[in-house]
Amino acid sequence: MYPARLDDKGRLKLPAEFQRFLGGLPEKRLFVTSLDRRIATIYPIAVWKENEKFFENYTDDPATAENVAFTAADLGAEAEMDTQGRIQFSTQLRRDLNIENQTVRLQAYKGSIQVLSEAIYQARRAQSSKSPEADVKLLQRAGLK
């Protein structure tokens, strides 16, 4: 978990580790959005393209796929990391997630970078603290090493 901050122009300065990860990708374009209107996610464009195909082909509940795809399109925008390791967030995304000029927390997760507001971070921290021992034991029984 890395602390970061969106500046007054809506740019997020990434920690060096994330800069190296994104800088090492063959495609430099990113897609910055939210799927749930709570947590922002920075996707390498190749990962985002896989998500778009998933939405198109998901037949179990097409209305849900359409809703999530709409949210992503509504709040999302393509971006690239600049030479100083900053990524621009759309105005709509910053406002809807209440992260303008705010401290956020960054977490690498499943090939993307999640951006959590302080309120979401604190809520998830509290949730994960309820039964950590039992949670770990359950996952160890399932194969976690």
pLDDT of 139 reads: 96
For 96-144, how does the pLDDT look when each residue is reduced to its tens digit (9 = 90+)?
999 998 899 999 999 999 999 999 999 999 999 999 999 999 999 999 9
For 56-75, how does the pLDDT look when each residue is reduced to its tens digit (9 = 90+)?
999 999 999 999 999 999 99
User: Does an H or E element contain 95, and which?
Assistant: helix 91-96
Q: Which residues pair with 88 in a beta bridge?
A: 11
Domains and CATH numbers, the chain: 2-141 (3.40.1550.20)
> How far is Cα 93 from Cα 78, in angstroms, rounded to an integer?
12
Tally of CB atoms within 10 A around 130: 8
> How far is Cα 67 from Cα 71, in angstroms, rounded to an integer?
6
User: Does an H or E element contain 114, and which?
Assistant: strand 112-117
> How far is Cα 20 from Cα 47, in angstroms, rounded to an integer?
17
pTM: 0.92
Which residues lie below 8 Å from residue 107, measured CB to CB, with a gap of 6+?
1, 2, 113, 114, 116
> How far is Cα 28 from Cα 44, in angstroms, rounded to an integer?
8
